[in-house]
Amino acid sequence: MPIEPARLDILNALTRKVLWLSSWTIHHANHIRPNVDGLKVGGHQASSASLATIMSALYFSVLRPQDRVAVKPHASPVFHAIQYLFGHQTREKLENFRGFKGAQSYPSRTKDVDDVDFSTGSVGLGVAQTLFASLVQDYVRAHGWAKQRPEGRMIALVGDAEMDEGNIFEALLEGWKHGLRNTWWVVDYNRQSLDAVVREGLWEKFESMFRNFGWDVVIVKYGSLMREAFAEPGGEALRKWIDQCPNQLYSALCFQGGAAFRKHLRDEIGDQGPISRLIDKRNDEELLALMSNLGGHDMASMLEAFEAIDHDRPVCFIAYTIKGVGLPFQGHKDNHAGLMTVAQMEKWRGAQNIRPGHEWDKFEGLPQTPAEIEAFLSKVPFNRDGRRRLSAPVIDVPERLTFSPSAQMSTQQGFGLLLNELARGDSKLAERIVTASPDVTVSTNLGAWVNRRGLFARAEKADLFRSEKIPSTFNWDASPKGQHIELGIAEMNLFILMSALGLSHAINGERLLPVATLYDPFIERGLDALNYACYQDARFMVAATPSGITLSPEGGAHQSIATPLIGMAQDGLSSFEPAFVDELAVIMRWGFQHMQREYGEGGSVYLRLTTRSIDQPQRIMSGELESGITEGAYWLRKPGPNAEVVIAYTGAVAPEAIEAVGLLGESRRDIGLLAITSADRLHAGWTAARALRRDRRGVAHLSHIEKLLAPLPRDCGLVTVIDGHPSALAWLGGVRGHRVEALGVEHFGQTGTIDDLYRHYGIDANAIIDAAESLTSGAPVRHRKLAV
Ligand SMILES: Cc1ncc(C[n+]2csc(CCOP(=O)(O)OP(=O)(O)O)c2C)c(N)n1
Ligand SMILES: [Mg+2]
């Protein structure tokens, strides 16, 4: 259906305005505001221009409030400009683009005020986020929630070079497995990356790949000016020339202008009557307008393409564009960091009929009256409901999470038992838990939970082993009510799924409590996605197990060293490494609450667990013990007043620490044993307390670790021990100035028994004793553990 001319006029005018405002934002940041030097803008101008028409078509016409968008990072000025026209972004923040508290360089859910659906920045991740957000929407609806809201489309605006990122391909495969729907990816096919012009024929690779994964592919190559010209006599020859022109040459000619196009067309097609007439009847400016009228810059073509979609299959649009279109450096291969000069901007301002001093005016220089445009904007479907961030009530967490204890257990086993107990019950909490694992469901102890709660799939699918009555420990029946999402091995996908599940309250208005399991070392494989999920404040729990060299016979490639440090350094993620299952129960309960706290208060949770089965304490879980566990540490054995040494341990090495304390007892006075459940929480508490004291808001405030260490004599030594990098605990000496011997693992592990490896890497009882001895004076320690 042809698009009504008046609507087209207004949308074209808005596109020009968006391009102007986004360019002015960048220009302002570079040339006008004071203190510009540190905030100069690179990489935005040309990249943004590329998407101005496509984004205007979407936001001002095609999108509905329920649709969610991940915007290509460098298109943030365009996004902010559109939101400014809607009234969701302020001039003050635009003037302060890239400045402190100004509009962010890359759209940020947490830092920007203008209704960003998904943060972007690390290319590829926002793209995959939309795919998983769509699966999550299906999950929510299949469970009978959010039915009153229409289904949204999850849309990514993708740079063509962004498609190089492997996580996108991983996501495509996963999407295919789960019957992906309602997802649109719009590839800004400007054939340029940051450094270069992309390979010829890339679109064909994209096309076949997307079709292979069950997507529809819509190629929007020619704009309406082009299509009209193709219909003229000689038009077919023009089309052929365009199709055959190499990307780099086309870019170069766009940069050079109409005369250069004319020369090439003449030289390469020759004088062939109709085509020569077609070219000659246009002056240089008109010829450039024609040749740069690629589909992605043509409002009518984009609207037609989007509006023709009348189904929920996933669609990839490949929209041809020119990087930096309409600007002096359009098409130039070096234009990624291209900026307009003051003189160029002046000239452009004049051409746009924008009076000096009126650069930020929303309606300045447009052919329509402000009233007409305001009337149009007030009816834009996407903006009908204003800001679209949703929320959901907090789900109650029971007073206590229970499990059936054994005398000896591992924390991984305990994790499985705790979830099994939840699965058996009918709590609201259990109803909202969604688990996921990248092909390690069984080996991370999630099996019992899955047996009870089932796999999720939009359509029922029986476990054929079960229906064939073949004995198996596991029931893998899948149904729309299932609560476990089984993923392929790609850990990137796991964390992006966590990112999507963990934002369900804000996106779908329905809270989910996602729990992921994976092997601890493979956190590193998905690390950027984990960071991304935390950056946009998604809420989830990760149980990473097994971990460290404790995973002895598996060898060095499966043994994590750096993850305790990742746990500490990752913002938005509280990490724990309990030694005992009763601690884990307390931590998980706290975690489910923490996952639901407001932005700035709550966050996600990382549990570093182990398969090592150790003796479990029989004890009453007092309130004080509980808060010690969640704050990060408690005295397993309180030091006496004259303590010479304290052993502080984390996680699986608890038996070694306990044994060392026993052996040291006769030789050293008043030894303390500090159980550290979370180096991360301890350190964060310490930092926060120092900040409070610095601001004089809490002059007397002491953190948990300061209070714990306060009674120790000044010359008491601290031995810290962890199956991970020793620096995770070495900082404890800085709290009150105690000398530290920090034991841990600094080199790749290898196969062997736990005893072999603990001895080799120096985290066994004797290593602890040696360290204690080196920190203390007095006679040599009398007892040591004997080699077996
Ligand atoms: C993971 C990651 N690596 C590198 C970058 C730096 N970077 C930003 S944009 C870009 C190239 C973008 O090319 P394309 O996606 O085609 O977008 P265009 O600039 O053409 O709009 C690169 C390498 C990044 N943001 N994220
Ligand atoms: Mg590009």
Q: Any idea which ligand is nearest the CA of 78?
A: 1
Q: Which residue has the tokens 């220009």?
A: 27
**Beta pairing, strands 614-615 & 315-320:** unpaired
* Nearest ligand to residue 42 Cα: 1
- CB of 355 within 8 A of CB of 364? yes
In the predicted structure, residue 403 carries a pLDDT above the cut 90: yes
Higher-pLDDT residue of 331 and 583 is 583
Helix (H) or strand (E) holding 650: strand 645-650
> Mind listing the pLDDT tens digit for each residue in 458-506?
999 988 888 888 888 888 899 999 999 999 999 999 999 999 999 999 9
Residues of 705-743 as b/e, b for ≥16 C-beta within 10 angstroms? bbebbeebeeebbbbbbbbbbbbbbbbbbebbebebbbb
State in Å: Cα 194 to ligand 1 middle: 6
Q: Is 162 in the pocket of ligand 1 (CB under 6 A)?
A: yes
Distance of CA 190 from the midpoint of ligand 2 (Å)? 5
Pairing of strands 633-637, 604-608: unpaired
pLDDT in tens, 420-451: 999 999 999 999 999 999 999 999 999 999 99
pLDDT above 80 for 38: no
Please give the DSSP secondary-structure letter assigned to residue 112. -
392, 422 Cβ separation under 8 angstroms: no
Task: Please report the atom of ligand 1 found closest to the CA of residue 125.
Answer: 1
Residue ID of nearest Cα to ligand 1 atom 26: 122
Over range 11-37, report the average pLDDT.
90
Lookup result for tokens 């205007």: 56
| pLDDT for the residue 36 | 63
Atom of ligand 1 at shortest range from CA of 193: 13
- Tell me the per-residue pLDDT of 229-264, one tens digit each, with 9 for 90 and over: 999 999 999 999 999 999 999 999 999 999 999 999
Measured by CA distance, the residue closest to atom 15 of ligand 1 is: 159
- In tens, the pLDDT along 646-663 reads 999 999 999 999 999 999
CB atoms within 10 A of CB 339: 23
Which pLDDT value is given to residue 42? 72
Question: How many whole angstroms from 44 Cα to the centroid of ligand 2?
Answer: 12
Side-chain-side CA neighbours of residue 767 (13 Å): 22
> Tokens for 32?
């006008």
Tell me the pLDDT tens digit for each residue of 535-568: 999 999 999 999 999 999 999 999 999 999 999 9
What distance in Å separates the CA atoms of residue 185 and residue 712, rounded to the nearest whole number?
60
Q: Is the CB of 196 under 6 A from ligand 1?
A: no
d(CA 460, CA 478) in angstroms, rounded, equals 6
Percent above pLDDT 90 for the chain: 89
pLDDT of residue 37: 67
Instruction: Report pLDDT for 32.
Output: 87
Q: Convert the pLDDT of each residue in 313-368 to its tens digit.
A: 999 999 999 999 988 889 888 888 888 899 999 999 999 999 999 999 999 999 99
Q: Whose CA is nearest to atom 1 of ligand 1?
A: 122
323 lines ligand 1 (CB under 6 A): yes
CA of 103 to the centre of ligand 2 (A): 23
Taking the CA of residue 165 as reference, the ligand 1 atom at the shortest distance is 1
- pLDDT at position 1 over 70: no
| Cα(65) to centroid(ligand 2), Å | 28
Residue entry with tokens 């939009």: 458
**Which tokens sit at 734?**
């800085």
Pocket test for ligand 1, best of 50, 55, 157, 194 (most atoms within 8 A of CB): 194
What does the alpha-carbon distance between residue 467 and residue 2 come to, in Å, rounded to a whole number?
55
Q: What's the 123 CA to ligand 2 centre distance in angstroms?
A: 12
Q: What one-character DSSP code corresponds to residue 161?
A: G
The minimum-distance atom of ligand 1 relative to the CA of 160 is: 16
Q: Is the CB of 47 under 6 A from ligand 1?
A: yes
Atom of ligand 1 nearest to the CA of 47: 21
**What's phi and psi for 555, nearest 5 deg?**
90, 175
Instruction: Give the ligand whose atoms come closest to the C-alpha of residue 191.
Output: 2
Name the pLDDT band for 400 (thresholds 50, 70, 90). very high
What does the pLDDT read at residue 271?
Answer: 74
Question: pLDDT at residue 522 above 90?
Answer: yes
Q: What is the model's pLDDT at position 194?
A: 86
Q: Which of 46-50, 184-188, 304-308, 602-606 has the lowest mean pLDDT?
A: 46-50
Determine the 3-state secondary structure of 594 from DSSP: helix
123 lines ligand 1 (CB under 6 A): yes
Question: For the segment 741-757, what is each residue's pLDDT rounded down to a tens digit?
Answer: 999 999 999 999 999 99
Residue bearing tokens 């009908």:
384
Ligand 1 site, residue 275, Cβ cutoff 6 A: no
- Give the chain's radius of gyration (CA, Å): 31
What local confidence, expressed as pLDDT, does residue 587 receive?
98
Relative to the CA of 124, which ligand 1 atom is closest?
Answer: 1
DSSP 281: T
At residue 726, the pLDDT reads: 98
Residue among 54, 74, 127 whose CB has most ligand 1 atoms within 8 A, to mutate: 74
Per-residue pLDDT at 697 exceeds 80: no
Best residue for ligand 1 mutational test, from 163, 193, 325 (most atoms within 8 Å of Cβ): 193
Q: Is 50 near ligand 1, meaning CB less than 6 Å away? A: yes
- Is residue 70 scored above 90 in pLDDT? yes
β-strand partners of 720? 648, 742
pLDDT in the model for residue 482? 98
Q: Is the CB of 161 under 6 A from ligand 1?
A: yes
CB atoms within 10 A of CB 459: 9
Of 19, 111, 65, the closest CA to residue 507 belongs to 65
Of 3 and 648, the one with more pLDDT? 648
Could you tell me if the CB of 122 is within 6 A of ligand 1? yes
Closest CA to ligand 1's atom 12: 193
Nearest CA to ligand 1 atom 23: 194
Average pLDDT, the chain: 95
Beta carbon of 192 within 6 Å of any ligand 1 atom: yes
SS3 746: coil
pLDDT for position 30? 87
Pick the ligand that lies closest to the CA of residue 319: 2
- Of the chain, the percentage scoring pLDDT greater than 70 comes to 99
Q: Which of 162, 189, 203 to mutate to test the pocket of ligand 1 (most atoms within 8 A of CB)?
A: 162
In the numeric block, which tokens belong to residue 264?
Answer: 């090439």
Ligand 1 centre from 129 Cα, in Å?
A: 17
Q: Which amino acid is it at 487?
A: L
> Who's near 187: CB < 8 A, 6+ residues apart?
158, 159, 160, 163, 206, 316, 317, 318, 319
Q: 309: CA distance to ligand 1 center in Å? A: 29
Phi, then psi, of 610 in degrees rounded to 5: -140, 160
Distance 161 CA to ligand 1 centre (A): 7
Query: Is 359 a pocket residue for ligand 1 (Cβ < 6 Å)?
Result: no
